[in-house]
Amino acid sequence: MDDILNYERATARLEEIIRRLDSGEAELRETLDLVKEGQRLVELCAGELDAVGRGLEELRLDELVARLEAGPRQDGPA
Amino acid sequence: MTARTAGRRARRASGRSRAWAPSTLRRLAGAAEARPAGLPGSALPGPFPVGAYAERLRDELRARARVQLFGEAWNLSVSRAKVYFELRDARGAVPCSMWRSEWDVLGLAPDTLADGAVVVVAGGPDYYPGSAASSPSFSFLATELRVAGEGDLLAQLDRLRKLLDAEGLFEPQKRLHLPELPRTIGVVTGEGGKARDDVLAGLRRRGWAGRLLWAFAPVQDRHAAPRVIQCLQELAAVGGEGSDRVDVIVVARGGGSLADLFAFCDETLCRTVALLRVPVIASVGHHTDRTLLDDVAAVSCSTPTHAAESAVRVDCAEARGRLIRCTRRLESHSRRAVLERARALAGLERAPAEHVHRQRRRLHQRLRELRASGRRQLAEERTVTDRRALVLGRKATGAAVAVQQRARDLDRLALAVAAHDPERTLARGYALVEDRAGAPVTSTRAALAAGELSLRFADGRVAARTEDS
C-alpha cells in the first residue's frame, strides 16, 4: 500500500497509463479502468503537491521535542 | 551579590594580586595621569590604564621560557610582514606567527605547509598590545620551523575512512529510498550560518513550501559532533512512521578549512548516520574537503542550496502543470473512448434501415429513370410518327396532284386518240377499204389481189369487186 501512495511511483504509473492510452491499443474496458486508476493517481499526486504548497511551516526541533515531552505530563494519566 | 560570591571574587582577587609584584602595581598605577574611581566595593587593585596593562602582559609573556612545540599546521596565511598559522593536535591549538624575514629564510615551497602538515617550531609566546586604532593579538612567535611529515589528523582520517568502508557503512544510506517530494524535511545546521539561507533559497527554487524542521547545532569544534548526532537521532524519531515523520534530513554547513569540518569526520557521527533509517543529504564544506559524513550519507552535495534541491527533486510548479495536463489527457481519453464507440454502435444500429432506405432510393431512381426514358422514347416515337405523317401527308398531296395530272394526261390522250379514230374520218365522208377478213386494204395492188372488198362507210358497209381496168 505504501508503494501505491508513494509520489514518484504514482507519477511513474500515471505516465505509463497515459502512454498506454495514447497508443490507442486499449479496449474500452481497459481504457475505462486505466482512466479510473489514472484519476485516482492524479488525486494522490495533487494531494502530495498540495501538502507542500500550502506555505512553508518552519519549526524548531528543540521546541518540538520540548512540546512533545511536555505533552504527556500535561495530559496526565487518564 | 551574595556573601558566597563576594568571598569567591575576593579570593580570586587576592590570588591574582599575588601574581603581580607590588612594584608592578605601583608602576601601573603611576602610569595613570587621570585615573577614574574603581568599582565600588571591589577588593581588586586598579583601575589601571589598559595600554600599560597590555604592555606589561606582553613583557611577562615574552619573559616566559622559549620552547619547541610540534603539531599540525593549519590555515596558513602570509602577509607582508608576518606569516600566521595555527598549530593543532587532538587536545588543543595555539595561534602562531613568524616574521616574514625568518619565514623567507626557510625557503619552503608554497604548498609545503598545507593544512595538516606536522611541523616543529621554536619560539615563545608573544602579545601584541594593540592601540587605540588596532586590535591586540596573542600568538606563539616562532623563530624557527621544521616540517615533520604528513598530518596525523589526515592519516587518522584516512584510516577511519578505510575502516568504515570495510565495514560497509558507506552503503546503508545509499540503499534508502530518497523521496522525490518529501513532506517534511529536517535540517541540521548552525543557527546563525549562511547555510540556513542557502537551504531556504534552494527550497524556494523548487517551489516547495512544506514542513521544515530546523535542528540547530554547533557546526565546528568538539561540541559539534555530539550535538549533531543528537539532532539526527531526534529528527529520525519525530513522527515515527506516521505522516508527520521526517522524510529526509539535510546536514548543511558552509565552506571552511578541513580542520573546521573535522566535526563531520567524527566516527560516532558517521556510524549514527550509516544506521539511520531516514536518508541524510550532506552538504558540509566543499568537494575539495570531503568529510567522512559525505561518504556515509545517502547523497553528498557541494552547497546547501544543492542539498535542498536534492532533497526536493521535483519542481513543484512544473509538477502541477504536468498533473493538469495528465488530467486533461485522461478526461479526453475517457470521453473519446465512450463517444467513439457509441458512434460506432449507433452507426451499426442504423445500418439495416439505411440499407433499405438506400435500396429504396435506388429503386425510386431507377423508376424515375425508366419513366423518363419511356417519356423520352414516346416523345421520340411521336416525333418520328409526326415526321412520317408529315411525309405521308406530303406524299398524299403529291399523289393527288399526280392523279389529277394523269387524269389530265389521259383526257389529253383520249382526245388525241379520239382525234385519230377512223370513225370520225368516216363521219367526215371517207370510206375504209377492207378485205374479207376485215383487214384494211391500203393499196391498189392489195385491192386487186383481194378481188372482193368491203367498203365501210360511216353509216354502214358495201361489198365491192375489183376489176382490172
Instruction: Looking at A1-78, list the stretches that DSSP marks H as alpha helix, in order from N- to C-terminal side.
Output: 2-5, 7-23, 28-51, 61-75
CA distance A64 to chain B (A): 9
Q: Does B199 touch chain A (CB under 8 A)?
A: no
Q: Round to whole Å and give the CA distance between B93 and B85.
A: 10
Compute and round to an integer the Cα radius of gyration of chain B.
73
Query: Does the pLDDT at position B68 exceed 70?
Result: yes
Query: Does the pLDDT at position B235 exceed 90?
Result: yes
Q: Does A10 touch chain B (CB under 8 A)?
A: no
Cell 603539531 belongs to: B71
- Nearest-CB residue to B326 (from A7, A42, A62): A42
More confident call, B353 vs B221: B353
- B55-64 mean pLDDT: 92
The cell numbers describing B327, all together, are: 488530467
Tell me if residue B257 falls in helix, strand or coil. coil
Strand partners, B248: B185
Q: Which of residues 39-78 of A touch B (CB under 8 A)?
A: 39, 42, 45-46, 48-49, 51-62, 64-65
Whether the CB-CB separation of B185 and B246 falls below 8 Å is answered with yes
Query: Does the pLDDT at position A1 exceed 70?
Result: no
Q: Distance of alpha carbon B295 from its chain centroid, rounded?
A: 32
Cell 393527288 belongs to: B400
- Nearest-CB residue to A52 (from B208, B329, B334): B208
Q: Report which secondary-structure segment, H or E, holds B267.
A: helix B267-275
Query: String of b and e for B321-356 (b: at least 16 CB within 10 Å)?
Result: ebbeebbebbeebbeebeeeeeeeeeeeeeeeeeee
CA distance B260 to chain A (A): 24
* Short-list B63, B457, B214, CA closest to A64: B214
How many contacts (CB atoms, under 8 Å) link A and B? Answer: 102
- A16-43 mean pLDDT: 90
CA distance B298 to chain A (A): 18
Q: Round to whole Å and give the CA distance between B228 and B32.
A: 50
pLDDT in tens, B381-423: 889 998 899 889 988 998 899 999 989 999 998 888 887 887 8
Cell 565546528 belongs to: B220
* Residue partners of B455: CB distance under 8 A and separation at least 6: B431, B432, B433, B434, B461, B462, B463, B464
Q: How confident is the model at residue B263 (pLDDT cuts 50, 70, 90)?
A: confident
- Nearest-CB residue to B316 (from A6, A22, A52): A52
* Residue partners of B235: CB distance under 8 A and separation at least 6: A61, B186, B188, B213, B215, B246, B249, B278
pLDDT in tens, A52-66: 888 889 999 888 888
Query: Does the pLDDT at position A71 exceed 90?
Result: no
Considering only alpha carbons, which residue of chain A is nearest residue B178?
A: A8
pLDDT in tens, B24-40: 666 666 554 577 888 88
Residue contact A28–B209, C-beta within 8 A: no
Report pTM: 0.54
Distance (Å) of CA B261 to CA A70, B103, B129, B258: 35, 28, 32, 5
Residue contact A39–B327, C-beta within 8 A: yes
Question: Which positions in chain B touch A39 (Cβ < 8 Å)?
Answer: 327, 330
Q: Round to whole Å and give the CA distance between B290 and B279.
A: 19
CA distance B249 to chain A (A): 12
- Nearest-CB residue to A52 (from B183, B216, B337): B183
Cell 530518497 belongs to: B178
Query: Does the pLDDT at position B378 exceed 50?
Result: yes
Considering only alpha carbons, which residue of chain A is nearest residue B328?
A: A39
pLDDT in tens, B269-316: 999 999 999 999 999 876 566 789 999 999 999 889 999 999 999 999
The cell numbers describing B453, all together, are: 372488198
Quick one: pLDDT at residue B9?
45
Residue to mutate among B309, B323, B328, with most A CBs inside 10 A, is: B323
Q: How confident is the model at residue A3 (pLDDT cuts 50, 70, 90)?
A: very low
Q: Which of residues 213-252 of B touch A (CB under 8 A)?
A: 213-216, 231, 234-235, 238
Residue contact A32–B337, C-beta within 8 A: yes
Rounded to 5 degrees, what angle do the CA atoms B163, B169, B170 make? Answer: 100
CA distance B184 to chain A (A): 9
Residue to mutate among A34, A61, A65, with most B CBs inside 10 A, is: A61
* Short-list B160, B206, B188, CA closest to B276: B188
- Nearest-CB residue to B210 (from A17, A45, A52): A52
- Percent of chain B as helix, strand, coil, to the nearest 5: 50, 20, 30
Residue contact B181–A60, C-beta within 8 A: no
